Amino acid sequence: MSTREAADAVADAVLATPGVAGLHPGMFGEVGTYLPGRRVDGVRLGDTDIDVHVTVQEGAPVRETAAAVREAVARQFPGRAVNVTVEDVIAAG
């Protein structure tokens, strides 16, 4: 799987998780995967791990949402550690 395919697969899995409002680039924009012509914010692919930074919808259980994100990504990338950071909580709408 190419880096583009992997980053897009992670982003799709995260954004499909209930309670996730979006991907977050980190406080200083340091979390992302650079691809030709674009960047996938909130996803950093390592050789043995994947970092995901998200914004959670207000009212969604933060720990459970983070765990669901971890599980959704881990299903697609078995053997890699998945680290989830909740950067913010925002109101829905």
Domain coordinates of the chain in residue numbers?
3-90
Q: Is the Cβ–Cβ distance between 17 and 65 less than 8 Å? A: yes
Asked if pLDDT for residue 60 goes beyond 90, the answer is yes
Asked if pLDDT for residue 92 goes beyond 90, the answer is no
Query: What band does 1 get if pLDDT is binned at 50, 70 and 90?
Result: confident
CATH of 3-90, one of 3.40.50.720, 3.30.70.1350, 3.90.1150.10, 3.10.105.10: 3.30.70.1350
Q: Is the Cβ–Cβ distance between 89 and 59 less than 8 Å? A: no
What's the pLDDT tens digit per position in 10-58?
999 999 999 999 999 999 999 999 999 999 999 999 999 999 999 999 9
Query: What band does 93 get if pLDDT is binned at 50, 70 and 90?
Result: low
pTM over cut 0.85: yes
